Amino acid sequence: MDGKIIPYGRQFIDERDIEEVSKTLLADFLTQGPKIQEFEKAFCDFIGCKYAVAVNNATAGLHLAVLACGLKEGQRVITTPITFAASANCVRYGQGEVWFADIDPDTFLIDVKALRELIESKENGFFSGIIPVDFAGLPVNLEELRSLADEYGLWIVEDACHAPGGYFTDSSGVKQKCGNGVFAECSVFSFHPVKHIACGEGGMITTNNPEIYSKLSLLRSHGITKDDMSQNHGGWFYEMKELGFNYRLTDIQCALGITQLEKLPNSLKRRQEIADKYIKAFEGKVEYQATSPGDYNAYHLFVILANNRKALYDILRKEGIYAQIHYIPVHTLPYYQNIGYGDARLENSESYYSRCLSLPMFPTLTNEEQDFVIAKVLENYA
């Protein structure tokens, strides 16, 4: 399109975003100020959870979440190989072992049947937790997963980085929003620029458990607290109760997050329009991620499967369409190969990776741009 590049994702920053960030830059606090709690409260209200803890990125959020759930050295946690490496790396940060369950070939989500088979292949107590991923914006059925987890005494940390606003419909007909704390101990969201809410970097952990919330809050800020000050000490007094981290999000980023969150309903609506247009154009011609009735896909990504993936990727790139691959299966990355995953066989995940391609999906994608993308895909798809 006249030399214009169409990326797979792009942030949208408007005058209100700039205005609110500018106000914060001129205010008293650039970090550890009132904007953090304001953002956390607004996020809780949107998601429908009791507690939210803002962090400097979603990787930090995943790290704190598994620690708050009690991850200890040597414990084993299951996740999907079709995710960004952070979903697995957080377990390694806590000196745990990562195990992978294969994906459903239609939804690209962790396959609950494969998950059950893996759990039941080991003695009871072998695994400690599960990290399911709401891949591309499609929610995992956490009610089903919760039932399995309870059967074997496992905790759940939902990686909801792709899915703010997404939901599945439970067995009672209730719409369960990603991150609402009903079925998972913790959920983690990302505010990377290509995600629904752009803070430059940033993340949020949500939970309904007050003990987990307290642990998250403590670990986020060096393990330091002023809450239990004795009257014998002055206002300077603090205690370091645990070895924590500096995983705080700044007021500057939270100011941006608040205004970005306000735009999220319209952003989700536009993403649905874009997805619907892709589906209408591709139905019966191009394979794409399946969404079950009753689920609401937040569409961080729109992923298709192509037998000529590499050729299609190259053709689109020459046309200025910067499609992307999400993701190289985690168990095939050199780090995981080197620590013993070389013999892993996850057929659906590996087949998915050989064919997957993420098309442009962001709210400011124009109809003309999308028409161009669709035309080029249909012309060259195989």
237 — pLDDT class (breaks 50, 70, 90) = confident
Cβ neighbours of residue 130 closer than 8 Å, sequence gap 6 or more: 77, 78, 79, 115, 145, 149, 154, 155, 156, 157
Express each pLDDT in 282-315 by its tens digit: 999 999 999 989 999 999 999 999 999 999 999 9
Residue 67 neighbours by CB distance under 10 Å? 19
The answer to whether residue 229 scores a pLDDT higher than 80 is no
The answer to whether residue 103 scores a pLDDT higher than 80 is yes
The answer to whether residue 235 scores a pLDDT higher than 90 is no
Express each pLDDT in 29-71 by its tens digit: 999 999 999 999 999 999 999 999 999 999 999 999 999 999 9
pTM of the model: 0.97
User: What pLDDT score does 228 carry?
Assistant: 62
Contact 142, 136 (CB under 8 A): no
Q: 6-380 has which CATH code?
A: 3.40.640.10
Percent of the chain's residues with pLDDT above 70: 99
230 — pLDDT class (breaks 50, 70, 90) = low
Sorted by where each begins, the domain ranges of the chain are 6-380
Mean pLDDT of the chain: 96
User: What pLDDT score does 345 carry?
Assistant: 83
Alpha carbon distance 40, 11 (integer Å):
21
